[in-house]
C-alpha cells in the first residue's frame, strides 16, 4: 500500500447554468473533473485553488467560500487524496490552458454532469456539485494561513 498522502484543491465555478470542468487523461482514460490539483510548497490553499483554475482552464477565479473537505483513495494506485474544495466566481478568461494534461475545458450543466457520471475522475466530482446545489458553504476565514 502506498505510503503518501496528497493534499489537493478543487474549485466549483458556476456560471450561466453550467459548471466549469476539465477533461483530462488519467491512466489512459479520458475523465471529467473540476479544476483541481496539488498544493505546491509555499502556497496557501486559496492561492493553489486560484492557480490550478487558471492553469487548467484559463479562467481567473475569485474564491467566495469553502465548500468542503473530502478524502478519496484511488483504486488505480491506492494513493489517498485529501481535497479542499472552494466555490469561486469566474472573473474572466485570461489565458489559454497552461496544463498539458488538460484536453478540453467544458461548461457542463447539472444534467450533463449526471449523464456523464461514468466519466468522472472520482466520486468527489458529483459530490461537490451536490454539496453546492444543497447550499453548503463555510466562510473562507475558516482557512487559516500562519505564514
Whether residue 147 lies inside any domain: the answer is: no
Residue-by-residue pLDDT tens, the chain, 147 positions: 567 789 999 999 999 999 999 999 988 899 999 999 999 999 999 999 999 999 999 999 999 999 999 999 988 888 899 999 999 999 999 999 889 999 999 999 999 999 999 999 999 999 999 999 999 999 999 999 998
> So what's the pLDDT on residue 75?
87
State the CB neighbour count (10 A cutoff) for residue 94: 11
**Gap between the Cα atoms of 61 and 41, Å rounded:** 21
> So what's the pLDDT on residue 4?
78
Whether residue 94 lies inside any domain: the answer is: yes
pTM of the model: 0.94
> So what's the pLDDT on residue 2?
64
The domain total for the chain is: 1
Cα angle 20, 95, 7 (rounded to 5 degrees) comes to 55
Cα angle 39, 31, 116 (rounded to 5 degrees) comes to 125
Q: Nearest-CA neighbor of 32 among 48, 42, 19?
A: 19
DSSP 96-131: ----TTEEEEEEE-HHHHHHTGGGBSSTHHHHHHHH
Domain limits at 138? 5-142
Indicate which CATH number applies to the domain containing 114. Answer: 3.90.79.10
Amino acid at each position: 500500500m502506498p505510503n503518501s498522502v496528497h493534499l489537493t484543491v478543487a474549485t466549483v465555478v458556476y456560471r450561466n447554468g453550467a459548471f466549469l470542468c476539465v477533461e483530462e487523461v488519467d491512466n489512459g482514460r479520458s475523465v471529467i473533473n473540476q479544476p483541481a490539483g496539488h498544493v505546491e510548497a509555499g502556497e496557501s490553499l486559496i492561492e493553489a485553488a486560484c492557480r490550478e483554475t487558471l492553469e487548467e482552464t484559463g479562467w481567473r477565479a475569485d474564491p467566495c467560500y469553502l465548500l468542503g473537505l473530502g478524502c478519496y483513495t484511488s483504486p488505480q494506485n491506492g494513493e489517498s487524496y485529501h481535497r479542499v474544495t472552494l466555490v469561486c466566481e469566474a472573473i474572466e478568461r485570461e489565458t489559454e490552458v497552461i496544463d498539458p494534461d488538460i484536453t478540453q475545458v467544458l461548461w457542463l450543466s447539472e444534467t450533463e454532469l449526471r449523464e456523464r457520471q461514468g466519466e468522472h475522475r472520482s466520486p468527489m466530482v458529483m459530490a461537490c456539485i451536490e454539496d453546492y446545489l444543497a447550499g453548503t458553504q463555510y466562510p473562507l476565514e475558516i482557512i487559516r494561513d500562519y505564514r
